[in-house]
């Protein structure tokens, strides 16, 4: 901080700054000349990033400009916050916003801890064969297309599907799961757990193997039983991993499983299933209201960015762990 102040109060210093800059430029030039082959590898990836990542980022500007189909990708005229005002006053927007928050809090509550529990349970298994067997099967859903997963969800929850067969076997009434809004959240959460628990456990298992064995020996000496060892050694040992993944999850809070919801929801359960991204999809691509949909998307992305940065900030402040 200090040098900056000095630069502004003592003009002569500025010459020094430009000198530094100039020599830096020549350094870069020198480096490029020496390693031009290496730098040439960067060409395609950087062009790719600019066109397919950064131009769409700038393309978000149509949230503030009126976009005409067939016109410029950056819109035709400034309309300021017009589209943002529109969605703030849009009752459907607030409805889908609530649905999104509901689904993402349920996800944090149920889906996030599932792999941790699985990893802890697997950690207590001594037979490596059984452990491998459980792991290998539980990864499987991770390798499937969302289309297959949604197909399975629809088949299992169908009126003549396996779940209803089970309910009827125990003398219950048939339930029309996909036509009843109150069932959407349980179905979504249960399928998320099913999909992600095995694969998610990998990172925690890796973290578990890194815990120093002598800590357990010492705890045993002190008379700690297995449960106490878990609370005082195992869980603190995987805490950094938990926190890193938690930060990433918090950043994606508003981006709940768009593809899956798009594939399994229907107008009958919009009441609970419609989320920001699916609403955006309908407004933008089915009703061609591009600027409005972009405003909603930008809002979602900015919240995500703020969430990642603040989660990271607080995590670093209180636990010394962070993404960067």
Partner 1 sequence: MKESVQYKVFRVINVIILLLVVYITLFPFLNVVAQSFSGQAEINAGKVNLIPKGFNVETYKTILHDTTFWTSYKNTIIYTVVGTVISMVMTTMFAYVLSKKRLMGRKFFTSFAVFTMFFHGGLIPNYILIKQLGWTNSIWAIVIPGAISIFNMLIMKSFFEGMPEELEEAASIDGSSTYGTFLKIILPLSKPILATMFLFYAVGSWNSWFGAFLYLDKSEMYPVTLYLRNLLAGATTGQSAGATSADDLTQIAANIKAVTMVLTVLPILCVYPFVQKYFVSGIMLGSVKQ
Q: Which range of residues in 14-22, 83-91, 104-112, 278-286 is near partner 1 by CB under 8 A?
A: 278-286
Please classify residue 253 by burial: count the beta carbons closer than 10 Å to its beta carbon, then call 0-12 exposed, 13-18 middle and 19+ buried.
Answer: buried
Is residue 115 a contact residue for partner 1 (CB under 8 A)? no
Q: What is the rounded CA–CA span in Å between residue 157 and residue 20?
A: 67
Q: What is the rounded CA–CA span in Å between residue 78 and residue 62?
A: 9
Is residue 145 a contact residue for partner 1 (CB under 8 A)? yes
66 sits in which H/E element: strand 65-66
**By C-beta, is 74 or 108 nearer to partner 1?**
74
Is residue 79 a contact residue for partner 1 (CB under 8 A)? no
Q: Which of 13, 14, 23, 38 binds partner 1 (CB under 8 A)?
A: 38
Is residue 300 a contact residue for partner 1 (CB under 8 A)? yes
Q: Which of 16, 20, 26, 27 binds partner 1 (CB under 8 A)?
A: 27
Q: What is the rounded CA–CA span in Å between residue 167 and residue 161?
A: 10
List the end-to-end C-alpha distance of the chain, in Å, as a whole number.
Answer: 21
Count Cβ atoms below 10 Å from residue 182 Cβ, excluding itself. Answer: 10
Residues contacting partner 1: total by CB under 8 A: 98
**By C-beta, is 9 or 37 nearer to partner 1?**
37
Is residue 235 a contact residue for partner 1 (CB under 8 A)? no
Is residue 144 a contact residue for partner 1 (CB under 8 A)? yes
Q: Which range of residues in 2-10, 91-99, 103-111, 125-133 is near partner 1 by CB under 8 A?
A: 125-133
Is residue 146 a contact residue for partner 1 (CB under 8 A)? yes
Q: Which of 268, 310, 314, 319 binds partner 1 (CB under 8 A)?
A: 268
Is residue 218 a contact residue for partner 1 (CB under 8 A)? no
Q: Give the shortest CB-78-to-partner 1 separation in angstroms.
A: 17
Q: Of 154-213, which residues contact partner 1 (CB under 8 A)?
A: 154-156, 158-162, 164-165, 168, 178-179, 194, 197-199, 202-203, 206-207
Q: Of 244-263, which residues contact partner 1 (CB under 8 A)?
A: 244, 251, 259, 263
Q: Mention every residue, 6+ apart, whose C-beta is less than 8 A from residue 70.
A: none
Is residue 9 a contact residue for partner 1 (CB under 8 A)? no
Q: Which range of residues in 10-18, 80-88, 100-108, 127-135 is near partner 1 by CB under 8 A?
A: 127-135
Residue identified by tokens 């809090």 is 105
Q: What is the rounded CA–CA span in Å between residue 114 and residue 135?
A: 14
Closest listed residue to residue 141, CA positions, set 156, 130, 125, 122 = 156
Q: What is the rounded CA–CA span in Å between residue 128 and residue 116?
A: 19
Residue identified by tokens 């962070």 is 322
CB 322 within 8 A of CB 246: no
Is residue 52 a contact residue for partner 1 (CB under 8 A)? yes
Q: Which of 16, 22, 56, 319 binds partner 1 (CB under 8 A)?
A: 56
Is residue 49 a contact residue for partner 1 (CB under 8 A)? yes
Q: What is the rounded CA–CA span in Å between residue 109 and residue 9?
A: 54
Is residue 241 a contact residue for partner 1 (CB under 8 A)? yes
Q: What is the rounded CA–CA span in Å between residue 224 and residue 118?
A: 22
User: Using alpha carbons only, how large is the chain's radius of gyration in Å?
Assistant: 26
Fill in the DSSP letter of residue 289: -
Q: Give the shortest CB-276-to-partner 1 separation in angstroms.
A: 11
Q: Which of 137, 287, 310, 319 binds partner 1 (CB under 8 A)?
A: 137
């Amino acid at each position: 901080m200090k040098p900056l102040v000095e630069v502004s109060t003592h003009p002569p210093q500025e010459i020094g700054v430009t000198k530094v800059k100039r020599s830096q430029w020549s350094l870069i030039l020198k480096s490029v000349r020496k390693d031009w082959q290496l730098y040439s590898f960067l060409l395609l990836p950087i062009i790719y990033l600019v066109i397919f990542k950064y131009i769409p980022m700038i393309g978000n500007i149509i949230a503030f400009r009126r976009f005409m189909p067939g016109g410029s990708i950056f819109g035709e005229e400034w309309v300021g916050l017009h589209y943002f005002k529109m969605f703030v006053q849009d009752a459907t927007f607030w409805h889908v916003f609530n649905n999104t928050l509901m689904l993402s809090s349920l996800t944090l509550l149920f889906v996030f801890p599932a792999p941790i529990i699985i990893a802890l349970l697997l950690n207590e298994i001594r037979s490596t064969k059984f452990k491998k067997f459980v792991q290998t099967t539980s990864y499987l859903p991770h390798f499937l297309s969302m289309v297959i997963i949604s197909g399975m969800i629809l088949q299992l929850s169908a009126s003549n599907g396996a779940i209803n067969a089970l309910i009827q076997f125990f003398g219950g009434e048939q339930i029309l799961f996909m036509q009843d809004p109150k069932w959407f959240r349980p179905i979504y959460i249960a399928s998320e757990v099913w999909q992600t628990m095995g694969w998610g456990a990998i990172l925690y298992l890796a973290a578990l193997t890194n815990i120093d064995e002598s800590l357990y020996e010492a705890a045993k000496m002190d008379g700690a039983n297995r449960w106490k060892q878990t609370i005082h050694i195992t869980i603190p040992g995987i805490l950094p991993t938990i926190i890193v993944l938690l930060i990433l999850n918090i950043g994606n809070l508003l981006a709940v499983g768009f593809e899956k919801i798009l594939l399994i929801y229907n107008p009958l359960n919009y009441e609970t299933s419609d989320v920001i991204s699916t609403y955006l999809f309908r407004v933008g691509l089915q009703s061609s209201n591009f600027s409005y949909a972009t405003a909603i998307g930008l809002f979602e992305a900015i919240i995500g960015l703020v969430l990642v940065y603040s989660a990271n900030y607080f995590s670093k402040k209180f636990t010394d762990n962070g993404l960067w």
